[in-house]
Structure 1
Amino acid sequence: MIADSATATNPLASPAVGQIEPLLAAISASQPRVSRTVAIMPAYNAATTLERTVADIPEGSVDEIILVDDCSNDDTVKLARSLGLTVIAHETNGGYGANQKTCYRAALDRGADYVVMIHPDYQYDSRVVGAAIEFIKLGICDVMMGSRIRTRREALDGGMPVWKYVANRCLTTVENIALGQNLGDFHSGFRAYSRKVLETVPFEKNSDDFVFDSQFLAQAVHFGFRIGDIPVPVRYFDEASSISFRRCITYGLATLGVLGEFYRHRCTPWKSERFQTDA
């Protein structure tokens, strides 16, 4: 009876067979949970730039890198595996938005608390990953954007075409006014999210094309998430992916359509599924 009493009052005192698993579970539950940060890379023909992009990610800033290859014609998949990345390869090219959908599903499935998107084309400076995530960890923002346009001179010196700069400034201004935000660059491909954002925003309902990004931000605003940004150096060069002038016009018009859909949902009886959850 004395031994039984000691065991009852001291959980570490020789537990009986059958009590070990509950004991281990209790000990595990008492330990503080360590958050998990996952970097996702939507990739297409990124073999020439991938290694440099990965090398710039600060050590210890992410726990895993998931690369989703959208049916590349080069050695992107082979190189990514040699670098120790988690690789998911699409059998057919689904588009930029479809690639991101796979990225986010994979990150959530692998227990990510924070997710940061880094383009593997070495255009965005991945050294700022930790800084972006920290704003979310501190509870200051739920979504962090990397702004390529701290000043006009820096953007143009980084190689951004003048026409793209002007288009970005005009469209970003319209979006800031329409969505009540104050972001420096609504169209950056460097983005970080909390898990709650990805679990709330119905991104599966979005386009498989480039306008996916605009739809996602409009959804984030609709669901009340806080969006912030930090400056991120950017490089424009031949290997860095960039849509053409014609595709840019199509994207811009589609983005204006997203704003129209946002206000139609909020101000009229005609609701959009894109701004409703299934729950």
Structure 2
Amino acid sequence: MLHAISADNTLKRHTIAVMPAYNAEATIERTLKDIPKGVIDEVILVDDCSTDKTVEVAKSLGVTVIQHDQNLGYGGNQKTCYDHAIAHGADYVVMIHPDYQYDSRIMGAAIEFLRLGICDVVLGSRIRTRREALQGGMPVYKYLANRVLTTIENIALGQNLGDFHSGFRAYSRKVLTTIPYHNNSNDFVFDSELLAQAVEFGFRIGDIPVPVRYFDEASSINFRRSTQYGIATLGVLAKFFLHRLDIYSSQIFRPKETESSNDQD
């Protein structure tokens, strides 16, 4: 059921898809089936203490499964994903949710931008047009919040991206071995921190359109959590500016070799 999956071959540099999972038993197989043949060498799924049969289903499909002993949150899950991808010798890492919300058919296109050296980070933009986003089921309040936050982030970080908050992301190995992502939050703002770090460390970020689906099984945070995430994202931008002005040194923007237990948050 998987295409070009080689969970045993960890010695060569290869392309790995990582899936931060929580209660995704109903959608894992569909997500995997859409991955184009020959694009991915291994799939690593990190289960964050699901209460359904996510682990059993993933193992039955030939996926490498890592289980957390306790729920670490979305950011904590990604930290484990990237740790294992790096340890498995990944040259390129694609993060996609196993809930079938993002179209995994675009993986090859994202990886090609990395392979050609055009970008170091590639995001899947859900908002090619307003009509597509809303017809795909994105709630109006999320669309509006996304537009406002993405505009602010583009200005603050000097980028021109269509969607700063996508759950489809591809990274070169150098990005993940350079950025001190273990200093990041274990919550959803991990994503915003990682992109701000990518800018700070001089990596090139680009995006490509990705079709998305909003349905009951697809993960989505509620209005309250979305508001908290938005405020936390603005906080990341404030840290970025203060760091650039040498007013406040945040550990998330310090090179790994200079980290210490006494660093400021």
Instruction: Classify the secondary structure of the residue corresponding to 2:231.
Output: helix
Is the counterpart of residue 114 in structure 1 residue 114 in structure 2? no
TM-score (norm 1): 0.87
Is the counterpart of residue 100 in structure 1 residue 72 in structure 2? no
Higher-Rg member (1/2): 1
Instruction: Classify the secondary structure of the residue corresponding to 1:274.
Output: helix
Residues 75 and 191 of structure 2 are in contact (CA less than 8 Å); yes or no, is this contact kept in structure 1? Answer: yes
Q: Distance in 1 between matches of 2:37 and 2:21?
A: 21
The change in CA–CA distance for 1:34 and 1:68 in structure 2 (over 3 A counts) is closer
Match of 2:217 among 228, 239, 259: 239
- Render the CA deviation track for 1:204-246: whole Å, top value 9, x for unaligned: 0000000000000000000000000000000000100000000
TM-score (norm 2): 0.92
Correspondence for 1:168: 146
Correspondence for 1:256: 234
Instruction: Classify the secondary structure of the residue corresponding to 2:70.
Output: coil
Letter in 2 for 1:247: R
Q: Where do 5+ consecutive residues of structure 1 fail to align?
A: 1-32
Q: Distance in 1 between matches of 2:87 and 2:162?
A: 32
Give the deviation of 1:34 after TM superposition: 6.9
Computed over aligned residues only, the root mean square deviation of the Cα atoms, in angstroms, reads 1.0
Alignment: residue pair count: 247
Correspondence for 1:179: 157
Give the deviation of 1:91 after TM superposition: 1.2
Instruction: Classify the secondary structure of the residue corresponding to 2:75.
Output: helix
Match of 1:200 among 164, 173, 178: 178
Q: Distance in 2 between matches of 1:89 and 1:48?
A: 18
Q: Distance in 1 between matches of 2:225 and 2:133?
A: 21
Q: Distance in 2 between matches of 1:204 and 1:94?
A: 13
Q: Distance in 1 between matches of 2:154 and 2:48?
A: 31
- When structure 1 is superposed on structure 2, of 263-272 and 43-52 the one drifting more is 263-272
4+ runs deviating over 4 angstroms: none
Q: Distance in 2 between matches of 1:132 and 1:91?
A: 32
Q: Distance in 1 between matches of 2:20 and 2:134?
A: 25
